[in-house]
Amino acid sequence: MRYLTAGESHGKQLTTIIEGVPSHLPITQEQINDSLRRRQGGHGRGKRMQIEKDTADMTGGIRHGYTLGSPISLVIHNDDFKHWTDIMGEDPFPEGKNIRRTVSRPRPGHADLNGGMKYGHRDLRNVLERSSARETAARVAAGAVAKVMLEELGIKVAGYVREIAGIVSPFDESMSIEERIEKSHASPVNTLDDETTEEMKKAIDDAKKDGDSIGGVAEVYVEGMPAGLGSYVQYDKKLDAKIGFSVMSINAFKGVEFGIGFEAAKRNGSEVHDEIGWDEERGYYRKTNRLGGFEGGMTTGMPIVVKGVMKPIPTLYKPLQSVDIESKEPFSASIERSDSCAVPAASVVMEHVVAFEIAKAISEEFPSDYFPRLKEALDNYREEVRNF
């Protein structure tokens, strides 16, 4: 399974093409739209999210509620495009004159300057349109299809916020996946704890009032994994590495950790590694899950627990200094609109990119063009591993 996305932030539409999804997977547009709706929410989003009402047109690969096995094509229209036809439309000289302003002022923390130098774009709009996190809507659409597939295979994925601007949400680690899903969906900051929800909301509002932005930590929790997905035999087959890559590829993500992650550096081995147990019902299990569901690049069968850290949004109402690429003069960046915190939305993005990586790993381990056959192979494998 693989996917590509195309489209600019203020262009006509975003397109996602997913290849390799087996046939006969039941799927509805509403399942994809539900994921897209969740990504648009979260306290701290800017005015753009009031303009967009993301929904996916299923333009290929799905018929009568089932996948066909052919490439799936999903289209999300940018409602904001109607305000940008002069700048993003096909006509280079609308109304017969060149009324377009080019962007010559790179924003610190964005792809603008590096992208301009690399692609030879003196109009930095040609960079910022594509580097914008608007593209994560298209990624969530792909992940939504993956999540439907995982759900059919008994694998559930939850994404939520663990920390915003140093406010850490405590919660009972034994909380069930269903409860994690329910709580994160109901919270305005996608977190699992009611008390810190209010604190986080306030921190976001305060940052906005100060013209500043804040970041945080998102976590994804996956339950129902079979042991042995991924591999130790070659570096590029390690599933934890692939998940790490997918998390790091989300805009503004600066780090990733599994289980106790960086905390492991401070502990003795006896306080890090998870002892192995066995019982009739479960087969092999780990008595703790400090390593977050991975050993040797493979799943242990315990829940996958992965965190990603998001830097504060780079566009600030309190302007940062930069240099105009035409005049070479310094300027203070002024802005019209931006998110002040997008960690809640990013937790939804992270949930979906991790889901895609796992669905991909399963389809590589049990390749089949026909979903019921893939499911049967996975069920047989689960039984085999349980009796090992």
Ligand X SMILES: Cc1cc2nc3c(=O)[nH]c(=O)nc-3n(C[C@H](O)[C@H](O)[C@H](O)COP(=O)(O)O)c2cc1C
Ligand Y SMILES: C=C(O[C@@H]1CC(C(=O)O)=C[C@@H](OP(=O)(O)O)[C@H]1O)C(=O)O
Interacting residues with ligand Y between 235 and 294 (CB under 6 A): 251
The site partner of 134 among ligand Y, ligand X, none (C-beta below 5 to 8 Å per kind) is: ligand Y
Residue 35, judged by CB atoms within 10 A of its CB (0-12, 13-18, 19+), counts as buried
Q: Can residue 255 be called a binding residue for ligand X (CB under 6 A)?
A: no
Residue with tokens 């996975």, as numbered in its chain: 378
DSSP per residue over 139-167, as a string? HHHHHHHHHHHHHHTT-EEEEEEEEETTE
The site partner of 137 among ligand X, ligand Y, none (C-beta below 5 to 8 Å per kind) is: ligand Y
- Contact characters 159-188, ligand X, x per CB under 6 A: ------------------------------
Q: Can residue 252 be called a binding residue for ligand X (CB under 6 A)?
A: yes
282 vs 276: CA distance, rounded Å:
12
Q: Can residue 133 be called a binding residue for ligand X (CB under 6 A)?
A: yes
Q: Which one of 19-27, 126-134, 184-192, 265-273 is the stretch in contact with ligand X (CB under 6 A)?
A: 126-134
Q: Can residue 313 be called a binding residue for ligand X (CB under 6 A)?
A: yes
Two tokens, residue 45? 């989003």
Q: Can residue 46 be called a binding residue for ligand X (CB under 6 A)?
A: yes
Which H or E element spans position 128?
Answer: helix 125-131
Q: How far is CA 1 from CA 271, 304, 356, in A?
A: 37, 20, 9
Two tokens, residue 195? 């008390």
Q: Can residue 54 be called a binding residue for ligand X (CB under 6 A)?
A: no
Q: Can residue 134 be called a binding residue for ligand Y (CB under 6 A)?
A: yes
Residue 314 in marked binding region: yes
- Residue among 7, 82, 76 at smallest CA distance from 35: 76
Interacting residues with ligand Y between 23 and 82 (CB under 6 A): 46, 48, 52
- Contact characters 336-375, ligand Y, x per CB under 6 A: -xxx------------------------------------
**Site for ligand X (CB under 6 A): which residue of 5, 322, 338, 347?**
338
Q: How far is CA 256 from CA 141, 145, 259, in A?
A: 22, 24, 10
How many CB atoms neighbour CB 334 within 10 A? 8
Q: How far is CA 152 from CA 57, 59, 149, 166, 360, in A?
A: 22, 23, 5, 37, 14
- Crossing angle of helices 371-386 and 136-152, in 10° steps, is 60
Three-state SS for 316? Answer: coil
Residue 152, sorted as left (phi over 0), alpha (psi -120 to 50) or beta, turns out to be alpha
Q: Can residue 217 be called a binding residue for ligand X (CB under 6 A)?
A: no
215 vs 80: CA distance, rounded Å:
26
Q: Can residue 190 be called a binding residue for ligand X (CB under 6 A)?
A: no
Residue 299 in marked binding region: no
**Site for ligand Y (CB under 6 A): which residue of 74, 133, 309, 310?**
133
The most distant pair of C-alpha atoms in the chain lies apart, rounded to whole Å, by 77
Q: Which is nearer to ligand Y, 34 or 198 (CB)?
A: 34
Q: Can residue 5 be called a binding residue for ligand Y (CB under 6 A)?
A: no
Q: Which is nearer to ligand X, 140 or 153 (CB)?
A: 140
Please state the closest distance from residue 321 (CB atom) to ligand Y, in A.
19
Residue 337 in marked binding region: yes
For 197, residues 6+ apart whose C-beta sits below 8 A from its C-beta are 169, 187, 188, 189, 191
Please state the closest distance from residue 100 (CB atom) to ligand Y, in A.
17
Q: Can residue 127 be called a binding residue for ligand X (CB under 6 A)?
A: no
**Site for ligand X (CB under 6 A): which residue of 10, 38, 110, 307?**
110
Q: How many residues does the chain have?
A: 388
Please state the closest distance from residue 163 (CB atom) to ligand Y, in A.
21
- Contact characters 231-250, ligand X, x per CB under 6 A: -------------------x
> Which residues of the chain form contacts with ligand Y (CB under 6 A)?
9, 46, 48, 52, 132-134, 136-137, 251, 337-339
> Which residues of the chain form contacts with ligand X (CB under 6 A)?
46, 109-111, 131-133, 136, 250-252, 311, 313-315, 338-339, 342, 345-346, 349
Query: Residue ranges for the binding site for NADP(+)?
Result: 39, 45
